[in-house]
Structure 1
Amino acid sequence: MAPAHVRSKPLDQDLHAVSELAAACKWSNAPDHALDQGGPLFRPYQRMGVDFADIPVVDHLKSVTTRHPDKLAISDGTDRLTYAALLQAVETLSRRIAAVVPDGQAIGIFLANSAWYPVAMLASMAAGRPAVPLNTRDPRSRIDEIAATARLSAVMCLGSADQAGWTQKIRWIDVAAGGMPAGRRTPAPPLSRSVSVEAPAIVLYTPGGTGHPQGIVNSQRSLLRRVQHYVDACHINAEDVFLPLAGLATIAGCREILAALLSGATLHLIEVEAVGLRAVRGRMRADRVTVTCLAPALLRPLLADAAVDAFRSLRLARIEGEAVSWTDIAPLRQAVSKACLIQIGYGSAAANAAQWFLPPDWPDHGPSVPAGRLLPGLSFAIVDEDGRPVRPDESGELLIRGPDVLLGHWDSGTVMAAESDPDDPALRIVATGDLARLDDQGLLRIVGRKGGQIQINGAVAAAPAGNRLAPRQDDTLPILFLLPGSVGYGPSFAAFAASMGKVARVAPVRYPGLQQILSGQNSLAAIATAAIGQIDRTQPSGSVRLLGHSLGGAVAFEVAARLLAAGRSVTFLGILDTSIVGEPRDYRETLIRTIHRIRTNRVTASRMVCRALAKVTVALGCEARLARILDRHPKGQFNATCFRIKLELQEVLRSRAFFAWLAGPKPMLPITATLFRCNRPGMPEALGWDRAFTRLDVVPIAGGHLDLIVEPHLATNRPLIEKAVAETYSPAETGKREKGS
């Protein structure tokens, strides 16, 4: 399951097994508690009534528009909609949808984070047609697969630019045809029928256990219940200003849109990947944003270079989408005002399960922040592998039961109903796949996972080898250990790992952190030792497959040498553009590239200064002293700078370990390796690896050293990497893979 932790095991769950568990397990009701416990005290807001989830979304929107017709509802930096204009746009578009999409069929939304996205989502609900959000940044092959699986005959878009290159016949609905509504609402004739809140409203596609897209269906009622839990807990009102940083094509993005617009708040939208983090910080400050929602993977870089006042307007920061560690909380607390509340959320597209406000003085025990208190109205069970209840002090798989979880799964244009409780068919069941326990304070703690996937901002990614929150992947696939560069395992590598899910269970490896490096684990040999420990825990026996990028290529080589010496086999060793020979330096080209990266928001001038300081400090041998100084000065604007300097110091020290390793002798390994090589003019084709293996295959790839695993180059490079990995599979492994897919 996920937002704050690991994601749910949706469509690939064994429904027969779930039925047996439901019949055998003992259900407990989630303890009743005030949703705003530990939250805002005296903030006025309009409490959602007991019948809030029984009223269609468009009727709620009409009520809000009556109260705030001329108030700004949505802004994306270009287009602005008042509530009156928003409702007019929704009603107009809903009639166009109803006219071309047959009742019961779904409609796609192929839109970026613009003012038109909420219009499209709300219009599909008003028309009673399930919406299928399509991430415009996904590879076209995935989008085509979702469109085919969902049986989409119509898709909403903006203009004609997005209509090219689709593999199936699609009827396009340009949401902006006729222009942006202006001024007050013009009354429109009502639709021919009302829409049931129990009907399918939105279909959110996840890769599922096999990597194939599979749709989770939610009704308006289930979406509205999420909104109610959010609004009543956080006292959201019309004075709030939202800037959600969760993807709009995720369950968190849907909730943020509805919570803002059904409360009369103002919703700002931004395309993070297009504008960069600097622009996000600027919008936060300029628009006086009060509420944001994001995943830890985005939180860390967002805080790293921020000015002291960038987030001071926030009164609420909700964190979800993956495991939340205590190291994520400390910099966030120092970046926001003391009055800002931090809310942790835990759930998935299948079920909203828990949330809580993290107290400022809560002790940071354990590897991760507690997931929260189970939400009132849910039933739960924590069971062992045989479906028997565990003792209070033991962990087991968490099962959720309730009337507001997923309706089922979208299969070829129809809803395949979720498993229900045999004794009460109105209660549907979600087997989360998470290993959990309740502590003595009633807080849910996620302690593990049956397999290996996590979510980052709604996207499925592989969990690090040895991570206690290892998520679930297809257990039939061989494991591929991913060794990152000196920066470590960040969002780009998480997305890359997720994209490889059809070919392998990707297990990224963590390197020693700054404190461990300063404590003596400061060589590539030490990094390899840490990597082997994670490999042995994740895959104690059998053939090992390794894929390393930059520094990770050298670590993979060292790991392979040790595994072979210990008698284990290495059937795949892939190297992503790592060079072990000197590269001619063109300082003019380096300067031009750096200026371009600053101008395009890929790196900031302040970060370059922090990196320069880290390099100078390491050159002088004063890294330990600098780290101590940074630890003694955690307050004020210097805090964000401290955070960035530590990251740069860690990277520089890892790079130093790499260059020290380059100077030493290297054995020739009796295996075949594959070098995925970017275009490097003036460099030897093998980048020095031809003397390190009995055979080396060189595969040219697109992009440069820093962006070879991100779009647009990932679409070209991933199939090449997947093909090389799959070619090492034995007939038995190939059979399991084909059976699993």
Structure 2
Amino acid sequence: MTNLATFLVRAARKHGGRVAVRESEAVMTYAELDDASARLAALLSAGGVRPGDRVALVIPNVVSFPVAYYGILRAGAVVVPVNPLLRAREMAFVLRDSGARTVVTSPMAADEATRAAAATGAGSLVMGSAAFDAGLRAASPVPGADDRAPGDTAVILYTSGTTGTPKGAELTHGNLISNTVTAAETLLTVGRDDVLFGGLPLFHAFGQTCALNATIVAGAALTLLPRFDPREALEIMRRDRVTVFLGVPTMYTALLRTGIPGGGAPSRLRLAVSGGSALPVEVLHTFEQDFGVVVLEGYGLSETSPVASFNPPDRPRKPGSIGLPVRGVEMALMSPDGTPVRPGDVGEIAIRGENVMKGYWNRPEATAEAFRDGWFHSGDLARADEEGFYFIVDRKKDLIIRGGYNVYPREIEEVLYEHPAVAEAAVVGVRHDLHGEEVAAVIVPREGSRVTADQIRAFVRARVAPYKYPRIVRFTDELPKGATGKILKRDITVEGPDR
């Protein structure tokens, strides 16, 4: 029997006086985090929460998040993390779908969260309120953590809903324990003297496994940033002597756009990790040069806890590659009929192993569609080289078919990022009467740069096959992004005639 929260219980015994988590002036030691989460577990149980019940967690990246996260797990309940930037109506969908009994929130997100709770008949606890604080002080901390089996659900992560309404991926205690230990020990090689940057949203799988849980496993420290701002991030990295930076590609481009020579990188920074979406190779090289640190890329999904592959730190990394399958994980490239593709060909990434979810919550049809012959099908297209390193080509659903030819947006985006006037870029398909789809590029220019659509077209046309370059080029001040900083292509609208 086991429980993901046992990591915290053990860490508190070994490192009670050490800092576990901080956000601005708020600091919690391991002993304080252990005590507060144990009292919250008691408070939830006293309020009728039973093992297996779902409890929604609506808190930004502040110290109360890990208190609530481990408190819910210690009570034997299931954590349902919710983006605190959602509106009540959006939150209510997640609460209804998961059958959440209670919502735990904080003052910053309380208005929308309590409205959503009221609309669905769920109870609510507002951490930091007078009533909550009094109840927490009066509660008797529960010893240890409720016994759970490896196959019991620990967390339900709701996907972004790019293909319809969000689905809840059920991650078990076994999934998360395996992936966390693998990330901490073999990928990030975290030690007790490390300080990890916590700018990734903790309601997301990347932030939970690689930042929060990996920190606790190692007895390290996590320094939080509630909402990513590149200048504030640099200041935190210097102030708290961060050693491991975890980010998504848009965070890397934002840091480079600060204009600070060398980024003002902290001297203790030893490793940078990128995930969530493809990091343009040009951005990777520039960041490494400016910050003097190696960037290692990995790959994963909410459904895989999330890490499925990574560039191993003990081997030469390959820029642009998502690396090799991690410990306890198998990956393969499949053709549409479910058979393996030939070496060197593009195929859909399929995954199986200790990290793969047990299914989508109350969605047997969606689960059956995602799993075929024991493999989880990711929807991502990739190819592998002779050493087994995987290279993402694109999302299966992002593929553009122009006049019968396949155009992979990522390939064109890589070229665009090589242009000195391009800060950010997204390539999408636009319906076209003659070709079926046309290639369109939406670009955020670098500050102070001047570039025309014709110049962009000429730059790309000189580097790719004639059918691939973007006939449509648009400029914008910013691209739409999700909570993790991933560019949301579904929210990009390209209108008007070609220029």
- TM class by shorter chain equals 0.7 to 0.9
Q: Distance in 2 between matches of 1:198 and 1:149?
A: 21
The answer to whether the 8 Å contact 1:90/1:119 transfers is yes
**Are 1:467 and 2:415 counterparts?**
no
Deviation string 1:138-194 (CA, Å, 9 cap, x unpaired) is: 344432322232222311012454555434333111233227989xxx983448952
| 2:79 equivalent to 1:131 | yes
Residues 689-708 of structure 1 aligned to structure 2 (within 5 Å): none
Contact 1:106 1:129 in 2 (8 A): yes
Matched, 1:432 2:378: yes
For residues 261 and 370 of structure 2, the distance between their equivalents in structure 1, rounded to whole angstroms, comes to: 49
Secondary structure of 1:388's match? coil
Q: Which residue of 1 aligns with 2:388?
A: 442
SS of residue matched to 1:229: helix
Matched residue SS, 2:233: helix
1:651 aligned partner: none
Larger CA deviation: 146-155 vs 289-298: 146-155
Query: How far apart are 1:263 and its partner, in Å?
Result: 1.2
What is the SS of the residue equivalent to 1:149? Answer: helix
1:509–1:531 contact (8 Å) kept in structure 2? no
Task: Return the TM-score normalized by structure 1.
Answer: 0.53
Instruction: State the partner residue of 2:194.
Output: 240
Displacement of 1:221: 1.3
Give the CA deviation at 1:261: 1.3
The one-letter amino acid of 1:334's match is Q
> Which residue is 2:123 aligned to?
171
2:32 aligned with 1:85, yes or no?
A: yes
CA contact (8 A) 2:57 2:81 kept: yes
For residue 222 of structure 1, give the secondary structure of its aligned residue in structure 2: helix
2: CA distance between counterparts of 1:122 and 1:415? Answer: 29
* Residues 382-391 or 122-131, more deviating: 382-391
Could you give the per-residue CA deviations for residues 193-226 of structure 1, whole angstroms, max 9, x where no partner exists? 5222321111111134523211111112111111
Name the residue aligned to 1:96. Answer: 43
Query: In structure 1, what is the Cα distance between the partners aligned to 2:279 and 2:355?
Result: 25
1:334-345 aligned at under 5 Å gives the runs 334-337=289-292, 340-345=293-298
CA distance in 2, matches of 1:413, 1:150: 14
Identical-residue share of aligned pairs (%) = 22
| Paired residue secondary structure (1:272) | coil
Residue in structure 1 matched with residue 164 of structure 2 by the alignment:
211
Give how far 1:269 is off.
Answer: 0.7
RMSD: 4.3
* Residue 331 of structure 1: how far off its partner (Å): 2.0
Distance in 1, matches of 2:184 and 2:145, equals 31
SS at 2:120's partner residue? coil
What's the secondary structure of 1:235's corresponding residue? coil
Of 389, 397, 405, 1:451 maps to 397
Correspondence 1:303-452 to 2 at 5 A:
303-305=256-258, 306-308=260-262, 309-337=264-292, 340-351=293-304, 352-357=307-312, 369-411=320-362, 428-452=374-398
Q: Report Cα offsets for 1:593-643 as digits up to 9, x if no partner.
A: xxxxxxxxxxxxxxxxxxxxxxxxxxxxxxxxxxxxxxxxxxxxxxxxxxx
Distance 2:461 2:215 in 1: 48
Contact 1:242 1:268 in 2 (8 A): yes
- Check 1:311–1:303 CA distance in 2 against 1; reply closer, same or farther (3 A cut): farther
Offset, 1:73: 1.0
Deviation at 1:272, TM superposition (A): 2.5
Who is 1:644 aligned against? none
Q: Which has the higher strand share?
A: 2
Partners of 1:709 and 1:511 in 2: CA distance: 12
Alignment of 1:151 onto 2:151: no
User: SS of the counterpart of 2:150?
Assistant: coil
Is 1:215–1:409's contact at 8 Å kept on the other side of the alignment? Answer: yes
CA distances 1:395-414 after superposition (whole Å, capped 9, x unpaired): 22221122431111113899
Cα deviation for residue 330 of structure 1 reads 1.6
Give CA deviations for 1:276-295 in whole Å, capped at 9, x if unaligned. Answer: 32221111001001112101
- Which amino acid is the alignment partner of residue 106 of structure 1? R
1:6-43 CA-partner distances (Å, limit 9, x unpaired): xxxxxxxxxxxxxxxxxxxxxxxxxxxxxxxxxxxxxx
- Report the 3-state secondary structure (helix = DSSP H, G, I; strand = E; otherwise coil) of the residue aligned with 1:399: strand
Q: Amino acid of the residue matched to residue 126 of structure 1?
A: R
1:67 aligns with 2:14: yes
* Larger RCO, structures 1/2 (Cα 8 Å, 6+ apart): 1
Q: Which runs of 5+ in 1 are unaligned?
A: 1-53, 423-427, 454-464, 472-485, 498-504, 553-705, 712-719, 726-741
C-alpha distance in structure 2 between counterparts of 1:113 and 1:193, whole Å: 25
Return the offset for 1:96.
2.0
Kept in 1, the 8 Å contact 2:311–2:318? The answer is: no
Q: Which amino acid aligns with 1:87?
A: D
SS of the residue corresponding to residue 53 of structure 2 reads coil
C-alpha separation in 1, matches of 2:438 and 2:40 = 42
Q: Indicate how the Cα distance of structure 1 residues 58 and 315 shifts in structure 2: closer, same or farther if over 3 A, else same.
A: same
Q: Is the partner of 2:198 in helix, strand or coil?
A: coil
Amino acid at match of 1:451: K
The CA distance in 2 between the partners of 1:446 and 1:245, in whole Å, is 25
Q: Residue 509 of structure 1 aligns to which amino acid in structure 2?
A: A
Contact map agreement 2:61 2:225 (CA 8 A) in 1? yes
Aligned to 1:260: 215
CA offsets, 1:509-544, max 9 Å, x none? 145989xx99xxx5444557889999x96999xxx9
Contact 2:181 2:217 in 1 (8 A): no
Q: Quick one: which of 247, 253, 259 aligns to 1:300?
A: 253
Judge conservation of contact 1:68–1:264 (CA < 8 Å) in 2. yes
Q: Look up the match of 2:433.
A: none
Q: Structure 1 residues 307, 300: closer, same or farther in 2, change over 3 A?
A: same
Contact 1:436–1:447 at 8 Å: present in 2 too? yes
Distance 1:401 1:408 in 2: 12
Q: Which residue in 2 is equivalent to 1:736?
A: none
Q: Which of 247, 250, 258 is residue 204 of structure 2 equivalent to?
A: 250
Larger radius of gyration: 1
Distance 2:469 2:159 in 1: 26
C-alpha distance after superposition, 1:225-274 (max 9, x if no partner): 1111112223211111111222211111111100101211111111234x
Show the counterpart of 2:179: 226
Conserved? CA contact 2:174–2:354, under 8 Å: no
Instruction: Give the structure 1 partner of residue 66 of structure 2.
Output: 118
Q: SS of the counterpart of 2:254?
A: helix
SS in 1 for 2:340: coil
Return the alpha-carbon distance in structure 2 between the equivalents of residues 347 and 403 of structure 1: 13
Q: Partners of 2:480 and 2:294 in 1: how far apart?
A: 36
- Give the whole-Å Cα distance in 2 for the aligned partners of 1:192 and 1:329: 41
Instruction: Please tell me the residue identity of whatever aligns with 2:388.
Output: G
The SS at the match of 1:271 is coil
Deviations 1:656-705 (A, max 9, x none): xxxxxxxxxxxxxxxxxxxxxxxxxxxxxxxxxxxxxxxxxxxxxxxxxx
Assess, with a 3 A threshold, how the Cα gap between structure 1 residues 137 and 269 changes in structure 2: closer, same or farther: same
Q: Is the counterpart of residue 270 in structure 1 residue 225 in structure 2?
A: yes
In 2, distance between residues paired with 1:398 and 1:489? 29
Structure 2 letter corresponding to 1:113: N
Q: Is the 8 A contact 1:110 1:135 kept in 2?
A: yes
The answer to whether the 8 Å contact 1:150/1:413 transfers is no
